[in-house]
Amino acid sequence: MRRADWVRAAYDGALYLASPLIWRRIWRESVPTRPRGERLGLIPARPPGPRLWVHAASVGEVVTAAPLIRALLARHPEADLVVTTMTATGAARVESLFGTEVSHHFLPLDFPGATRRFLARLAPTLAIIAETELWPNLLHACAAHGVPVAIANGRLSDGAFRTYRRFATLSRDMLRHVDWIGAKAPADAERFRALGCPDARVEVTGALKFDLQVDARLREESERLRTTWGRRFVWVAGSTHPGEEEAVLAAHARVCRRYPEALLVLVPRHPQRFEAVAELCRARGERVARRSRGEAPGAGTRVLLGDTMGELMHFYAAADAAFVGGSLVAVGGHNLLEPAAVGTPVLSGPHLDNLREIAATLAEARARREVADAEALAEALIQLFDDDAARRRLGEAGRAVVDANRGALARTLGAVSARFERALAGPAGA
């Protein structure tokens, strides 16, 4: 028995011991219309035929993978395209973006039997993992069923790299089953190689996030929103976390002392926190309009709670400035390119470990302003609202960065399509 097999057996043992806690978490992370048995690989068996399987763990990965999924639908209309997620919010985003164009299932827990059952019933021709969510038994099952695996927009933060390296044998064995990695940046590629992935299987493709689509429908909806909100300064605090909403509301109170008509559109990252954030706003003395209830923010309303899914880009496009959350607290930051792509000035905190290269690219182009706390956030917003030309320059610089760095989608699509076609051809085409 190989050392890697012993290590995976130990991993399985730890997984079974922790299964009550794991199942408790998954029990909450569900959708009423979807059986929880999917977490054990109990999905309907799909008919034979060409099949692309894209795994995107949660909302962020779904948004990142969306341009690739659309491109795959266009290039391979003959293929059945299935998307899996780990979270219910990810599932909701898949449905809002693609409707019935794709099928969705929850990814099974990484138990050996569940992953084998899932692969046998799904029978994919090619597996594509968005960003990096590597599960030992899932990848082992892919190899056992002859399913090639590609990683698109592959990234490894410093923390993730240290964790994988701590379990070097297991990590090396996992990567042995990966056929191709499209790394987001050279640093990510080096980390994958350091974990044992052969050089020939790693390619730097760039960040898929730069290939955001800004279509006419988004523009029309944002203009409609802006008309509804009226002639007032509007800023968005998107994808916020606990500890950030307090800072955002404090900053807004200070902004309103100079611009009493200013409107904050506050969009918490996780929908299960919508009620708590609404209560926090009321406790701070704010009258809150709820987007989910169709409430328009009148002249006396200074906060609109964006408690819906799939509208953040519309809010960014309709705003005068945007603060991107997960960055004033040690979360690692969220998608800075969404406001940049629509030409809205980008503000963030200093905690940007999840997107170092993107953050640096924006900073070098003077397309992002960094703030350390509520006071600095308020000051930056007031400066932008005071200076129309500076606000316009910052927004245009962000849009220019996005436009200049597009191309990862074409490189990723080419590599993935080649492997899909090779897998369809079978051994003779290998």
What are 211-266's pLDDT values in tens digits? 988 889 999 999 999 999 999 999 999 999 999 999 999 999 999 999 999 999 99
Q: What's this model's pTM, rounded to 2 decimal places?
A: 0.82
> What CA–CA distance (Å, rounded) separates 266 from 392?
22
Q: Assign residue 31 the CATH number of its domain.
A: 3.40.50.11720
CA distances from 167 to 57, 164, 310 (A): 22, 5, 37
356, 364 contact by CB (below 8 A)? no
Percent of the chain's residues with pLDDT above 70: 99
Same domain, 255 and 155: no
pLDDT score, position 427:
66
With a pLDDT cut of 90, the percent of the chain lying above it is 82
- Does residue 15 fall inside a structural domain? yes
Assess whether 159 and 248 both reside in one domain: no
| Claim to verify: residue 389 and residue 418 sit in the same structural domain | no
Per-residue pLDDT band for 429 (boundaries 50, 70, 90) equals very low
What average pLDDT does the segment 361-375 reach?
Answer: 97
Residue 428 has pLDDT above 80, yes or no: no
Catalytic residues: 61
- Give the integer Cα–Cα distance in Å for 184 and 65: 13
**Residues 150, 267 within the same domain:** no
Of 8-12, 310-314, 341-345, give the lowest mean pLDDT range. Answer: 8-12
Q: Are residues 348 and 422 in the same domain?
A: no
CA distance 374 to 353: 20
Q: Which of 21-30, 116-125, 323-332 has the weakest average pLDDT?
A: 21-30
Domain span at 400: 216-404
**pLDDT tens digit string along 53-87?**
999 999 889 989 999 999 999 999 999 999 999 99
* CATH code of residue 289: 3.40.50.2000
Query: For the chain, first and last CA: distance in Å?
Result: 30
Q: Are residues 370 and 411 in the same domain?
A: no
Whether the CB-CB separation of 104 and 43 falls below 8 Å is answered with no
Q: Is residue 27 part of a domain?
A: yes
Residue with tokens 């904050």: 264
Q: Are residues 297 and 243 in the same domain?
A: yes
Classify residue 237: in a domain, yes or no. Answer: yes
- The separation between CA 78 and the C-alpha centre of its own chain, rounded to angstroms, equals 27
> Rg of the chain over CA atoms, in angstroms?
22
Q: Tell me which H or E stretch contains 218.
A: helix 216-229
* 71 occurs within a structural domain: yes
Whether 134 maps to a domain, the answer reads yes
Task: Looking at the structure, tell me whether residues 180 and 230 fall in a common domain.
Answer: no
Q: Find where tokens 């998608």 sit.
A: 335
Question: CB-hemisphere CA count at 13 Å for 272?
Answer: 6
- Read off the pLDDT band of 423 (50, 70, 90): very high
134 and 220 belong to one structural domain: no
* pLDDT, mean of residues 294-298: 93
Any long-range contacts for 365-371 (C-beta under 8 Å, 24+ apart)? 365/397, 365/398, 365/400, 365/401, 366/393, 366/394, 366/397, 367/340, 367/394, 367/397, 367/398, 367/400, 367/401, 368/336, 368/340, 368/398, 369/345, 369/394, 371/323, 371/328, 371/347
Q: Are 158 and 221 found together in one domain?
A: no
Q: Does residue 194 sit within a domain?
A: yes
Enumerate residues 6+ apart whose C-beta is below 8 A from 271: 89, 307, 309
CA angle 315, 317, 319 (to 5 degrees): 70
Round to whole Å and give the CA distance between 171 and 316: 39
Number of domains the chain is built from: 2
Q: In this structure, is residue 211 part of a structural domain?
A: no
Identify whether residues 380 and 415 lie together within a single domain.
Answer: no
Same domain, 81 and 163: yes
The span from the CA of 310 to the CA of 388, in Å, is: 29
Contact 99, 23 (CB under 8 A): no
